[in-house]
Structure 1
Amino acid sequence: MTSSDEGAPRVPARISIITLGVADLAASTAFYQALGWRRSTASTPEIAWFRTADSALGLVPSEQLAADAGIPAGGEPAFRGVTLAVNLESPRAVDEAFAVAVAAGAGVVKPPAATDWGGYGGYFEDPDGHLWELAHNPSFAFTADGRLDLP
């Protein structure tokens, strides 16, 4: 199927929600709030919701998330093969955001530095080991409301 297949069924190219399984919902919620993220009033005792520029982030106890997907819980590897990224407007913005994450309790995985592809970035992990990249890519632009504007 190509993009020229008018009327053909498709999966829309958008990511609406990212849900992370967490060991301690209260602690993980506090971590993301310490980053400066506002907890949504749509949150319940079972899930904490945060609105981001382009999507929503949900935090759910790992056992509940596994049950919802119909898979066994536990046994998360140290590296899950996934990173989440926040792209920022400048190297300075990366450094400032990284300092906020560390002050909130993030584990430093790779401090921000110039990259071999001409950008700038670093990695931290949240309390459950989910990897986040904070990066500046000089080739990426942003819309007026702060969303990444890829060509």
Structure 2
Amino acid sequence: MEPRISIITLGVQSLTESYNFYHHGLGFETSGTPKDGILFFKTTGCCLALYPYQQLAEDALLEASTKPSFSGITLAHNTHSEEQVEQILKQAELAGAKIIKPAQTTSWGGYHGYFTDLDGYLWEIAYGAMWQFNPDGSLLIK
């Protein structure tokens, strides 16, 4: 297997509300609409997809009766400055996100904060002076 993640799919309760959050609220680009039954958002590195939670569980042959409050997974967006961390957290909050951890200095020398989207998926918005980026905006991993 090649070390690559092609798509991250989030199971959502309302495709329409999540579409509005990610597309209109956060500005993620897509050519799809909720009527398509699944949404694919253009991101650098991999694709973010939204699919109805119940249908995603059924597709994987799993029980979808409850969702854990914390799955042990975070999605991260790395920025070029501390100011961008603040701006993105505010943008997410205005779009309906819940701020879990306001932006602050980290123990590892960076600056970050966390929010959850409409379905409780945890996003970290982080800046680190030590990080470098590829020309396409993806994080450079050496």
* TM-score, structure 1 as length reference: 0.89
Which residue in 2 is equivalent to 1:3?
A: none
Per-residue deviation at 1:42? Answer: 8.7
Which residue in 1 is equivalent to 2:69?
A: 78
Per-residue deviation at 1:128? Answer: 0.3
Alignment of 1:1-151 (within 5 A): 11-33=1-23, 34-41=25-32, 45-151=36-142
> Which secondary structure state, in structure 2, belongs to the residue aligned with residue 142 of structure 1?
coil
Q: Which has the greater radius of gyration?
A: 1
Per-residue deviation at 1:74? Answer: 2.5
> Which secondary structure state, in structure 2, belongs to the residue aligned with residue 39 of structure 1?
coil
Unaligned runs of 5+ in 2: none
Using the alignment, how far apart are the partners of 2:65 and 2:22 within structure 1?
22
> Which secondary structure state, in structure 2, belongs to the residue aligned with residue 148 of structure 1?
coil
Let me know the Cα RMSD of the aligned residues. Answer: 1.4
Q: Does the 8 Å CA contact 1:109/1:123 hold for their aligned counterparts?
A: yes
Moved more, 93-102 or 33-42: 33-42
Distance 1:93 1:20, change over 3 A: same
Per-residue deviation at 1:40? Answer: 3.0
Moved more, 141-150 or 124-133: 141-150
* TM-score, structure 2 as length reference: 0.94
- Per-residue CA deviation, residues 30-60 of structure 1 (Å, 9 max, x unaligned), is 0001101112349762101101111101101
Unaligned runs of 5+ in 1: 1-10
Using the alignment, how far apart are the partners of 1:74 and 1:17 within structure 2?
24
Moved more, 57-66 or 139-148: 139-148
> Which secondary structure state, in structure 2, belongs to the residue aligned with residue 149 of structure 1?
coil
Distance 1:28 1:42, change over 3 A: closer
- Per-residue CA deviation, residues 62-92 of structure 1 (Å, 9 max, x unaligned), is 1110011111112111111110000111111
Aligned pairs, how many?
141
> Which secondary structure state, in structure 1, belongs to the residue aligned with residue 36 of structure 2?
coil
Amino acid at match of 1:97: I
